[in-house]
Amino acid sequence: MIKKSIEIKLPHGLEARPVAELVQVASKYDSTIHIEVQERKVNAKSIMGMMTLNLKSGEMIDVIAEGSDEAAAVADMANYLEGATSLA
């Protein structure tokens, strides 16, 4: 299991489109991936779950991955959330 704290650096936070893109990033991996904010933990592959977090730019979250490709999954999720890559 890998857990990494990440600051969301997307200009508008995780609105509908960025959430959909983040779910696409997570879905590329076989590992189980969760996003944890304070005491809430949701499946990063669930659009509805991710939307309930209502995450804003500047917030800190934890990305937790467990599985055969967990390191790559966490790295890719971090790159997206930090604004380094975009699917658009």
Q: Which two tokens stand for residue 40?
A: 């809430």
Within a domain: residue 87? no
Distance CA 9, CA 29 (A): 22
* pLDDT given for residue 16 in this prediction: 92
Q: Domain span at residue 13?
A: 1-80
Alpha helix positions (H), the chain: 16-27, 47-53, 70-81
Taking alpha carbons only, the member of 21, 37, 30, 39 closest to residue 77 is 21
Output the pTM of the full model: 0.90
Within a domain: residue 85? no
The maximal CA–CA distance of the chain, rounded, in angstroms, is: 32
Report DSSP state, residue 57.
T
Could you give the number of structural domains in the chain? Answer: 1
pLDDT in tens, the chain (88 residues): 999 999 999 988 899 999 999 999 999 999 999 999 999 999 999 999 999 999 999 999 999 999 999 999 999 999 999 987 655 4
